[in-house]
Structure 1
Amino acid sequence: MYNNQFKIKELRKIILYHNYLYYTLNDPIISDNEYDILIQKLYLLEKKYKRLKDHDSPTNIIGSNLNTHLGTKKHLSPMLSLNNISNINQFLDFETYIKSKLLLEDDIIFCCELKLDGVAVNLIYKDGMLLEAITRGDGFIGENVTDNIKNIKSIPIVLNGIDIPDVLEVRGEVIMLHQDFVQLNQYAKITGTKLFSNPRNAAAGSLRQKNAEITKQRKLIFFCHGVGFFSKSSWKFSSHFNVLEIFKSWGLPVHHSICLCKNHDEVISFFRMMESTRSSLNFDIDGIVVKLDSLILQKKLGNISRAPRWAIACKFVSKLSQTKVLDIHFQVGRTGVITPILQLSPIKLGGVIVKRVSLYNKYEMEKVGICIGDIVTITRSGDVIPKLVSIDLLNREKNKLKLIIFPTHCPICNSFIQQNNGIARCMEDWNCIEQRKKKIIHFFSKKALYINGLGSSLINQLVDNNYIFSPIDIFNLHNFHFSSLHKVGEKLTKKILDNIFSSKNTTLSRFIYALGICDIGINTAKILAKELKNIDNFVNVRISELLVIDHIGKEVANNVFNFVQNLDNRIMINRLSNIYIINDI
């Protein structure tokens, strides 16, 4: 019994921690699937050992502590969560459960909708006027986001039509489209502000701004999916599908992918269709929601503590796989940032063999508390980049694990690592051979001062042989420098030298980008080039001049100013500007 009590206690702590990350910080570190598995484990343990059940267990509550800077407000009726299933057999069990509870034998009519991956919000209309907007919160009390909601263009301030209840709670989801998310992060890079990890976090962060003007600048949209409280005097609907249809006639946004299904076969067809087409959508969904269409039968079934009995979320299966952490190495980036890279026992994931995964930075590594020997769950973010989803904390064999300690010295040049806000950086710049390689590779990359034939493999060999120490040295190369290099014959040598000789025309924006200044992407380089006009103005720019340029934030301005004030950098720029003809922009 003690062992089970310990398991339940640990599971509750883990789930509450993930609730805090998801609902309060908008910064989850595990997938929804992994979270659902944790909740299901806890639910089954509590069901088996009823004496250990606790009213404050995560299986009984929704959400986490609220960010109170916006103020809080009570919902007119509880805003519940949904129970989740992950396969078709479970849906059939759900249908069987409903039939047995309602003593039905005929096919059940379901209303199917997309499960949008956004922020749940409750809109309260009084006499057809938008009165308040409240986030889900703990299901009973949420954050008052009324001022911010009014800046979302798709939400009507006034409803138009007939039979509108005097008081109406409209339930829905605030989301951000993929292209708007990309644009927001591009703008954040230019201004040196916070980058968001996914559209849901961007939507949540935008909705919770203290300054409603910031929310106004962010492109949020809203889709409604249900009704909470309503005054019954003018209410005459008995079908959930019809409610959504009348919402549309009143001016409320409802996504067109809703489907009235007459039996479970049609529900399954809708699920499979959306699973196969989800990648073509311009926003994130993680499944479908299946609801009993009859409002009368919904009321008969009622709710449990945290979810309705008449609705279920059918989740799409993520591409997840478990493997073992074999080792770790610390990668040195172009700007000196040290990135932990986990070495994994190879696994096949989405048709690709995954052997390593990045933990991004020191803060991320210490947050997850990873050890060599841990069993971890991996996914491919966007079906491309391998990403750590979770660690199997419950089944750790602690005596067989080796805690990973972040190094105090650069793994390449052994210089002392400086740390700031969880970012660890080697400060040796060009003196660190790994940084030198990556800086030169970046300098001659396609968006910078590209030279055909001068790729990363060749540059690495030239650096390793001490033939080049900076981009300037490329222009002093001769035939004999290439003779000892791997897979470089006379023909290729001549081609590369000819390309080096003929590639001395460029633009100011490409030149600035090529310098590899921290946080300066090609778009920021174009902004700087447009404002500063020429290389002399760039080298002699004052920080006050940078701060008045649109889209240049304080951090970016400091990075540029500190770079051009460095004597070695000024010498390099001067010598390069004598080699290159630098045109405007």
Structure 2
Amino acid sequence: MTNDAKSPASGPQAPAVETLTADAAATEHAKLGEEIAKADRLYYQNDAPTLTDAEYDGLRRRYEAIEAQFPELKGIDSLSEKVGAAPSAKFAKVRHAVPMLSLGNAFDDEEVEEFVARVRRFLGLPADAEIAFTAEPKIDGLSCNLRYENGVFKQAATRGDGFEGEDVTNNVRTIGEIPARLAGKDVPDVFEVRGEVYMGHADFAAINERQQAAGKPLFANPRNAAAGSLRQLDPSITASRPLRFFAYAWGEVSEDALPADTQFGVIEAFARWGLPTNPLTVVCRSAAELLAHYRMIGERRSTLGYDIDGVVYKVNALVQQAELGFVSRSPRWAIAHKFPAQRAVTELLGIEIQVGRTGALTPVARLAPITVGGVVVSNASLHNEDYIAGLGSDGQPIRGTFEEKPVDIRIGDFVTIQRAGDVIPQVVDVVLERRPAGAVPFAFPHLCPACGSHAVREEGESVRRCTGGLICPAQAVERIRHFVSRNAFDIEGLGDENVQMLFEADLLRTPADIFRLHARGDEVRRAFLVHREERARQREIETGQARKKVLTEEERQFLGVDKLFASIDERREVALARFIFALGIRHVGETTSKALARTYRSVEALVASLEAAAPGRPGEAWTRLESVPRIGRISLTALADAVSEIDRSLDGEEAVRSLFRAAHLNAAQRTEMRSFFMGAAELIEAVESAAREAPSEAFEALAAVPDVGPVAAASLCEFYAEAHNRALLDELLAEVRVAPAEQPAAAASGAVAGKTVVFTGALEKMTREDAKAMAERLGAKVAGSVSKKTDYVVAGADAGSKLAKARELGVTVLSEDEWLALVGG
């Protein structure tokens, strides 16, 4: 087995440094330097580390040990003199007035005791002389320098390589815990605060839930999430992420006007000024006290709500810090006492596929129970099918290789478990030496385990999703909530709470059930009554106030059930666009639904189109070839047509050249095709497979509908291809009438036909929805944002950014009255 994330030289079989020859030392030193530099780039620039802290620290220690044994290897470019990595080119650079260096590490009690003794020796203090240190949690986040001038926040920069960082000022302004102005009379004219931007465990879990629901890659841990959030080019993305900050150090200070003469005193000043500081920072007066605080924090580590990876000790007196100075890339007066990695090895008993409320299939490891970091773990995350197969988002091995194949995860394996962020357990590695002889690769299901529908994975996504939609029990509640929402069927009285309650009472499973509720009126009333009583009991528990009396039979009429039934009956006729949107088909939003309604006019015509297109939807081989850069639909069709005509007697490379000539590919397209496939045989086979799975004319006609396209067309066809979805449609159409789409008005409405219109602000004479419907009836396209292609912006009261954008671009702006005059309303 080889593991690309680990250095062979740093493993348990590495020879002792003292036994190395000069040539062997030089070779290993160079190799370690490459690995450390690569790890620094991935960690500091890409926010995508491939090494654990322990693995990285092991490489560093081996590298420095070789330099200590062979001093001639330590040149000016030595990594032992550098911190982090150069700042990303995406951001403007900021030169630090005072370098942001890193800390030396201690890994056991003896090293901490030696650190304290070393400080005493350097300061010339006797063994019994008291010396004070601060001890604070080492936050696992992104180091940041905040510059204040006259107490006002002016600039923020990442650490970068320690001397030059990235300008993230606008992003840091969105972090609520960082004050725009420091509160205090003793704030120096120039003061640089240093600390850590981080993300809490609960916020991290919530963000990953949103990532998973959206089919996006999950963040590996809170540190990656925080770093990725802070280093966004769009500050609005940073603003949407719940970032936090702890202040613990400083950089440039005008005229050395520090507010105290001790480390702890300055931290207390930070708190007075309004900066967030860590409450677990204390003053200790011996190695024994430092170690006791370290153990206390270690015991509380899993309950802190944020990631730490150790405790930092600093000499408290600033005059002693100045006397101690620096060595290499770190101060003599501070050290980080690292925690051991929270990992354990256990047996993988099974892999269970769970279906989320959006249809995402998520694998979960079922484990022989094991204690990790003081918590018993029996389940762990496996992320997605690529993670099980040992592949990252870039298609490269993430756990190394064995027999030239990525190391996958199999049932029966002994696996390494890590509590990611001390909260979410995950499987991080496989102990190949203990793999059972009969273990076979895990076959990720292509059918939904909840409903049996086809589970598809779209090109570029890591998540496989159920196409069962409204009939899938795992998605039912969420899908029905969408079905009755404002822009779909808009049924008053069926809010989130009532949908959940009726589902749990087994009265609501499919949309058609909504229109059959009146036939089960007594059961519905009973469910509402039980729900009311349960809520009253819960209120009594929470508030201590006695419940109201149980309703009498006569009082049950006031539960609103009859009103709900009336609301349902009012929606037995619905516009075609609303009907399509209500089905909740992936990639089919309001705009696409309206486009389909405009094109097909009736539900019967739409169904007929889907029936013709569904059997001819493109297969995975076609979709894969479509993802090759520079290969558009025209070139792809040309390749599929040409592959059947090439001379089979030609050797592989000549056959490829013949295929490229027949398909009229240019030089750039030929290069992309060659780089995408490994060799001529694979390329020819891929094109042949794509040709067999090419889309039919009926599918292409569906995809050609304006505002639909191939992605939404494929989703529509996947939905209709499922027999139970067709049955659901039949049931639903037996209960409701779908009104045909209106023909766009002509002649008198020619002023806006084919124009793009944006509505903004509060309209007085009609609702926004009515205005949009009017515009679409008159043949206009209603957009949600303003661009150069916008023809009119209709601005009501309190119009904001869209109105400003229209004026900036020179787009015609109309008042509500001017709009009505234009369209003859």
Q: State whether TM-score is above 0.5.
A: yes
| Aligned CA distance change for structure 1 residues 347 and 160 (closer, same or farther; 3 Å) | closer
| Aligned CA distance change for structure 1 residues 564 and 274 (closer, same or farther; 3 Å) | same
Following superposition, the deviation at residue 184 of structure 1 comes to 2.6
Task: Give distance in 1, aligned partners of 2:507 and 2:734.
Answer: 7
Task: Give distance in 2, aligned partners of 1:448 and 1:510.
Answer: 15
| Aligned CA distance change for structure 1 residues 317 and 143 (closer, same or farther; 3 Å) | same
Task: Give distance in 1, aligned partners of 2:362 and 2:510.
Answer: 32
Correspondent of 2:590 among 545, 550, 559: 545
- What TM-score comes out, normalization by structure 2 length? 0.50
| Aligned CA distance change for structure 1 residues 117 and 538 (closer, same or farther; 3 Å) | same
Correspondent of 1:184 among 192, 196, 207: 207
Task: Give distance in 2, aligned partners of 1:558 and 1:57.
Answer: 56
> Which residue in the other structure is 2:118 paired with?
97
Task: Give distance in 1, aligned partners of 2:460 and 2:167.
Answer: 31
1:367 is paired with a residue of what secondary structure?
coil
Q: 1:385 aligned to 2:540? A: no
Q: Deviations over 1:490-540 (max 9, x none)?
A: xxxxxxxxxxxx9563365999xxxxxxxxxxxxxxxxxxx9999875338
Following superposition, the deviation at residue 163 of structure 1 comes to 2.6
1:123 is paired with a residue of what secondary structure?
strand
> Which residue in the other structure is 2:334 paired with?
311
Counterpart code for 1:570: N
Following superposition, the deviation at residue 345 of structure 1 comes to 13
**CA contact 1:31–1:389 (8 Å) conserved in 2:** no
- Structure number with the bigger relative contact order (C-alpha 8 A, sep ≥ 6) is 1
> Which residue in the other structure is 1:570 paired with?
725
Q: Deviations over 1:431-489 (max 9, x none)?
A: xxxxx9xx99974699799xxxxxxxxxxxxxxxxxxxxxxxxxxxxxxxxxxxxxxxx
2:146 is paired with a residue of what secondary structure?
strand
Task: Give distance in 2, aligned partners of 1:509 and 1:113.
Answer: 60
1:187 is paired with a residue of what secondary structure?
helix
Listed as ranges, the matches of 1:147-226 within 5 Å are: 147-193=170-216, 195-226=218-249
Task: Give distance in 1, aligned partners of 2:83 and 2:430.
Answer: 21
Following superposition, the deviation at residue 44 of structure 1 comes to 1.2
Q: Deviations over 1:251-310 (max 9, x none)?
A: 222122210112222211211111111111121111111110011111111112321111
Correspondent of 1:505 among 504, 508, 518: 508
> Which residue in the other structure is 1:372 paired with?
402
Listed as ranges, the matches of 1:26-425 within 5 Å are: 26-105=47-126, 106-193=129-216, 195-232=218-255, 234-235=257-258, 237-320=260-343, 358=382, 360-362=384-386, 363-364=391-392, 366-368=396-398, 370-372=400-402, 379-381=418-420, 382=422, 385-388=425-428, 420-421=459-460, 423=462
Counterpart code for 2:109: I
Following superposition, the deviation at residue 217 of structure 1 comes to 2.3
2:84 is paired with a residue of what secondary structure?
coil
> Which residue in the other structure is 1:21 paired with?
42
Q: 1:12 aligned to 2:33? A: yes
1:38 is paired with a residue of what secondary structure?
helix
Q: Deviations over 1:110-145 (max 9, x none)?
A: 011111111100011122221211100000000001
Task: Give distance in 2, aligned partners of 1:209 and 1:420.
Answer: 25
Task: Give distance in 2, aligned partners of 1:303 and 1:41.
Answer: 21
Task: Give distance in 2, aligned partners of 1:194 and 1:355.
Answer: 20
Task: Give distance in 1, aligned partners of 2:256 and 2:423.
Answer: 50
1:181 is paired with a residue of what secondary structure?
helix
Following superposition, the deviation at residue 563 of structure 1 comes to 4.2
Counterpart code for 2:239: K
1:158 is paired with a residue of what secondary structure?
coil
Deviates more, 1:284-293 or 1:337-346: 337-346
Following superposition, the deviation at residue 150 of structure 1 comes to 1.4
| Aligned CA distance change for structure 1 residues 288 and 564 (closer, same or farther; 3 Å) | same
> Which residue in the other structure is 2:785 paired with?
none
| Aligned CA distance change for structure 1 residues 361 and 311 (closer, same or farther; 3 Å) | farther
Counterpart code for 1:368: I
Larger radius of gyration: 2
Aligned residues: 487
**CA contact 1:124–1:130 (8 Å) conserved in 2:** yes
**CA contact 2:131–2:286 (8 Å) conserved in 1:** yes
**CA contact 1:61–1:306 (8 Å) conserved in 2:** yes
**CA contact 1:190–1:556 (8 Å) conserved in 2:** no
Unaligned runs of 5+ in 2: 1-20, 408-413, 434-439, 448-455, 480-504, 515-570, 595-708, 737-825
2:79 is paired with a residue of what secondary structure?
coil
More strand by share: 1
Following superposition, the deviation at residue 185 of structure 1 comes to 2.9
Counterpart code for 2:334: A
1:169 is paired with a residue of what secondary structure?
strand
**Percent of matched pairs sharing the same residue:** 31
